[in-house]
Amino acid sequence: MCNALTSVVIPPSVTSIGNNAFQFCPAITSVEIPEGVTSIGNDAFSGCSLTSVVIPASVMTINTGAFQIPGLIEVTFNGGDTTFTADLAFPNGANLRTAYMPPLGGGAGTYTRSGTVWEKVILPATYTVTFDRNNTDASGYTEANPQTMPVSAGASLGTLPLPPTRDIPQYVFNGWNTQANGSGTAFTEDTIVAESITVYAQWAVIVVPP
């Protein structure tokens, strides 16, 4: 038993974590397993106090009891080919196996446990809004800054880029629209984004007296 050890960083030269390697080290709350490790032995971390762990894509085999830790509630698989040799590799491992293992499971990703049920965390999609200056001026103009902005699905940008400019004095920037000719929908910082989209600068014409 190792009561003083609180975290473990496995060296990159290690390819296999042996049986009982850190068993009954109750103070361990974090572990970093590098790419290159291919197997994790029986009861390697059982008895530790991990609440989460990241399994590299290189890990092919996780053996009985390796992460049999009651407080473990989050597991991230960086690859989709890891095999549990026994359901007891994780708490409620049979349910995690069903949720994760291809072809029916979700494969690579993060899984969280509530009670006896493991579920894959579905991250919201990210879309891109592209801002088109909507003119063919050969010079004397600036683009929107930035020209593209990321946004989570179902969210709004909250703020818009600096608008483009033109050196032609009778044209003044007049907002953004989903159609170049202005026949679409005005796009503002509060517009909800449901897909990647290009919006177009609108230009108001000011009549300059002769």
What is residue 2's predicted lDDT score, i.e. its pLDDT?
A: 79
What is residue 1's predicted lDDT score, i.e. its pLDDT?
A: 61
* Domain locations along the chain: 7-120, 126-205
What is residue 210's predicted lDDT score, i.e. its pLDDT?
A: 64
What is residue 199's predicted lDDT score, i.e. its pLDDT?
A: 98
CATH superfamily of 126-205: Listeria-Bacteroides repeat domain (2.60.40.4270)
Residues 6-54: pLDDT tens digits?
Answer: 999 999 999 999 999 999 899 999 999 999 999 999 999 999 999 999 9
What is residue 50's predicted lDDT score, i.e. its pLDDT?
A: 97
What is residue 209's predicted lDDT score, i.e. its pLDDT?
A: 67
What is residue 140's predicted lDDT score, i.e. its pLDDT?
A: 86
Sites in the chain below the pLDDT cut of 70:
1, 208-210
199: nearest Cα among 123, 112, 134: 134
11: nearest Cα among 40, 48, 38, 37: 37
